Amino acid sequence: MPVHDEDLTILRALLEAGEGFVSGSDLAGRLGVSRVSVRARMQRLEETGFTLEAVRNKGYRLAGQPGLLHAALLEACLIRLGVSVDLHVHEEIDSTNSEAERLLSAGASTPLVVLASRQSAGRGRMGRRWHSEDAENLYLSFAFRPQLPPARMTKFTLWMGASLCDFLDEKHAVHARVKWPNDLLCDGRKLAGMLTEARIDADFTRDLIFGLGLNVNADPTTLPEEVREIATSVRAVSGQPRPINPFAAEVIACLMNAYEQFVDGSFEKFFKQRWIDYDCLNGQQVTVRGHAGELTGTVAGVNDDGSLALIRADGTRMALRAGDVSLGTGSAPST
C-alpha cells in the first residue's frame, strides 16, 4: 500500500482540525494545487473508506475513517504522535514476522514496522498457527538491529508485553496481564500473543523481530472453534470498538518507546515494578510443559534474567527459561 504524499498532507490537516473544518483553499495552498484538484483527491480518499463532510464556505471535515488499515492515515496518526518509523502496510501477507525477516535480509533500514490486515500463514510460538483472518485485529512486526549481546535480551519480550499492558491500562482502561513468556490475558482469556525472533551473529543480536497479534475489534464468538472459548478482544472487554488506525499508531508509539528504553538500558529502573503490576502468574499454581517434560509448582515472579521462578512442592526453586504454562496442576490446554 504506497502512501500518496497528497493524501498524507490532507489527512494531517484534517486530523489537526479534529472536529473542525479545513478550508479548500488552505488545502490547495498546502498541496500547491487548485481547489478542483483538492476536490478530486477528496473523492479518491472517500473511495478508500473515509467520510468527508464538505460544507460551503467552511471546507472539509473528517466525519468517518476506514475500518481497515490505511497506510496514509496510519502514517498521519504516527506523525501526530511524533513517531518516526518506516511503515510497510499490506492488505494480506503470509506473516508479518516473515516479511520483516525478508526486509532485514534485503538490507532495509530500521526501525521498520510491517502491518497486515490479514495473514495467510500467521505464526505463533512453538510452531503454532496464529489465526489471522479477522481484519479488525492487529497483526504487526517490528524489525530492529539492536547490536546487543544476547544476554541483554532475556527480558525483552516481557518488557514489551508489560509496557503494552501499561498502555492499555492507562489509555484504554483495558486491564491486561502478561502470562509468561508471551501472552497477554484479560479476564483469563487471550488478548494478544507476542513472537520475538532474533538472529545472532558473533555474539551480537544482529536482527530482532518483535511480532504482535492483538485482538482489537473482533467479536470472539466469530473466531474459529478452537480459539473461541479462550480468546477475547479490546472491544469485547471494554464494550467499545477502537478506530484501527489511530489505535495501531498508539500501539506502535508505545512499543517504539519501550524498545528505546530497552536498548538504552533505562527500562531497568521500571522493570521490577512494571512486572509486579502486570504479571498474571505470580503466586499461582501452574503446570509448565517444556523440554524437561511437565513440571508443577507455584510461581514466584521472574528472575533477573527473565526466567520463570517456580517453587516446587518439595520447596526446590527452579528457573525456567522456556515452556508453556497453564494454570493449575491438570493437563488443561494453555491459553
Binding site for ligand BTN (CB under 6 A): 95-97, 119, 122-125, 128, 130, 139-141, 182-183, 193-195, 211-213
Can you spell out the DSSP letters for 112-165?
EEEEEEEESS-B-GGG-B-----TTSEEEEEEE---B-GGGGTTHHHHHHHHHH
Could you give the CA distance from residue 67 to residue 71 in angstroms, rounded to a whole number? 12
- Check: CB of residue 301 under 8 Å from CB of residue 282: yes
252 Cα distance to chain centroid: 6
Nearer to ligand BTN, 6 or 101 (CB): 101
Least Å distance between CB 195 and ligand BTN?
Answer: 4
- 3-class state of residue 172 by DSSP: helix
Least Å distance between CB 299 and ligand BTN?
Answer: 19
Nearer to ligand BTN, 60 or 278 (CB): 278
Nearer to ligand BTN, 192 or 237 (CB): 192
Could you give the CA distance from residue 180 to residue 281 in angstroms, rounded to a whole number? 7
In Å, how far are 2, 4, 18, 28, 51 from 11, measured between CA atoms?
15, 11, 11, 13, 12
Placement of cell 504482535 in the chain? 212
Strands (E), the chain: 51-55, 59-64, 86-93, 112-119, 138-144, 177-179, 183-186, 189-201, 204-214, 285-290, 293-302, 308-311, 317-320, 324-327
In Å, how far are 8, 9, 61, 261 from 13, measured between CA atoms?
9, 6, 10, 31
Least Å distance between CB 123 and ligand BTN?
Answer: 4
Nearer to ligand BTN, 60 or 210 (CB): 210
Least Å distance between CB 97 and ligand BTN?
Answer: 4
Least Å distance between CB 119 and ligand BTN?
Answer: 6
Nearer to ligand BTN, 12 or 123 (CB): 123
Across-strand partners of 253? none
Least Å distance between CB 132 and ligand BTN?
Answer: 6
Cell (9 digits) for 146: 539492536
- Check: CB of residue 104 under 8 Å from CB of residue 209: yes
Nearer to ligand BTN, 9 or 334 (CB): 334
Nearer to ligand BTN, 65 or 157 (CB): 157
Least Å distance between CB 147 and ligand BTN?
Answer: 23
- Pick from 287, 326, 284, 322: nearest CA to 306: 322
Nearer to ligand BTN, 27 or 113 (CB): 113
Least Å distance between CB 141 and ligand BTN?
Answer: 5
Q: What residue number has its CB nearest to ligand BTN?
A: 193
Could you give the CA distance from residue 51 to residue 41 in angstroms, rounded to a whole number? 13
